[in-house]
């Protein structure tokens, strides 16, 4: 049975970091809400396709108001625990003040599309390699670049800098960002994930998701869960073509630097990656190559 949150509790939790929800998702959710018998599973499915909405639901369900012992990463479980009335009240509280311009929507679409595809691919890869938490993998895929729209809001030239970073053959994307902004989207994403009360394991991987080269060179046998989550994410990013969609590049330089160690770690080959690409294409996921 879902917990009823008060209006004051909702206002308190909604303060802070906000990533604009996809307008079409909000429209679809509104249509579902006004149905005579709203389908909570359909509402959860729609919410799970959006970074900002998903993050907000997890922030609520993992808040002290709910009093849960373990942190939740499944959007469906979060929506079920909150209950229909609380979810609708939260969605109403998230209504955008002023519509986004067409230009803003076009720019944000690059981020929204990659997040949803990568989340689905992460969950599927987790099952393929026998990782015991596909929900956690999905959440990581969905939230790993949550710092990007916040950097876009703060810095007018951020997209140009991001493309410059993806074009680097040696330096990391975040090194380029650090030089120009004194921060980077991985750090911003880490604090965003923490503000949403996500599990520390996910927050840590978000913070280091452009440091895979160093992490996988370290063969001390520690941090196995973090390495597995990171490996799943980097494979998914490559399959979905982040370097093209976000970086406007024809070559995935980061993958070239880290792929050998990552594939060795999870026991996959380049042939397996090609097979996965065909599988995901058949699923309707936007796959590059």
The pLDDT value recorded for residue 167 is 95
Note down pLDDT in tens along the chain; length 289 residues. Answer: 345 656 676 565 556 667 878 878 888 888 888 788 889 999 999 999 999 899 989 988 888 777 788 888 999 999 999 988 888 878 876 654 445 666 777 778 888 878 889 999 999 999 999 998 889 999 999 999 999 988 988 898 999 999 999 999 989 999 999 999 999 999 999 998 888 888 999 999 999 999 999 999 887 777 789 999 999 999 999 999 999 999 999 999 999 999 999 999 999 999 999 999 888 888 777 777 6
Residue where the block lists tokens 């923490």? 194
The pLDDT value recorded for residue 2 is 45
Joined together, the tokens standing for residue 231 give: 């490996």
CATH 1.10.3210.10 location in the chain = 102-283
Contact 203, 190 (CB under 8 A): yes
> What element of type H or E holds 216?
helix 212-217
Contact 49, 76 (CB under 8 A): no
CA–CA separation, 144 and 138 (whole Å): 10
The third-level CATH classification (topology) of the domain covering 102-283 is Hypothetical protein af1432 (1.10.3210)
Residues present in the chain in total: 289
């Amino acid at each position: 049975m879902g917990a009823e949150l008060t209006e004051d509790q909702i206002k308190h939790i909604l303060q802070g970091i906000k990533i604009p929800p996809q307008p079409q998702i909000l429209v679809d959710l509104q249509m579902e809400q006004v149905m005579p018998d709203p389908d909570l599973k359909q509402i959860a499915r729609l919410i799970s396709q959006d970074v900002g909405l998903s993050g907000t639901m997890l922030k609520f369900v993992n808040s002290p108001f709910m009093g849960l012992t373990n942190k939740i990463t499944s959007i469906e479980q979060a929506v079920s625990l909150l209950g229909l009335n609380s979810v609708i009240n939260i969605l109403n509280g998230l209504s955008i003040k002023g519509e986004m311009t067409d230009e803003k929507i076009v720019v944000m679409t690059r981020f929204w599309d990659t997040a949803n595809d990568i989340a689905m691919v992460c969950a599927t890869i987790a099952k393929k390699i026998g990782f015991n938490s596909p929900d956690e993998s999905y959440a990581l895929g969905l939230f790993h670049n949550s710092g990007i729209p916040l950097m876009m809001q703060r810095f007018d030239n951020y997209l140009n800098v991001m493309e410059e970073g993806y074009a680097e053959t040696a330096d990391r994307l975040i090194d380029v960002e650090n030089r120009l902004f004194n921060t980077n989207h991985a750090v911003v994403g880490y604090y965003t994930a923490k503000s949403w009360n996500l599990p520390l394991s996910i927050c840590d991987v978000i913070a280091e998701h452009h440091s895979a080269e160093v992490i996988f060179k370290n063969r001390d046998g520690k941090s196995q869960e973090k390495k597995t989550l990171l490996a799943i994410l980097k494979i998914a990013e490559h399959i979905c073509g982040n370097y093209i969609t976000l970086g406007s590049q024809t070559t995935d330089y980061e993958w070239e630097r880290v792929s050998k160690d990552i594939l060795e770690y999870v026991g996959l080959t380049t042939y397996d990656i090609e097979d996965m690409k065909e599988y995901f294409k058949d699923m309707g996921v936007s796959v590059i190559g």
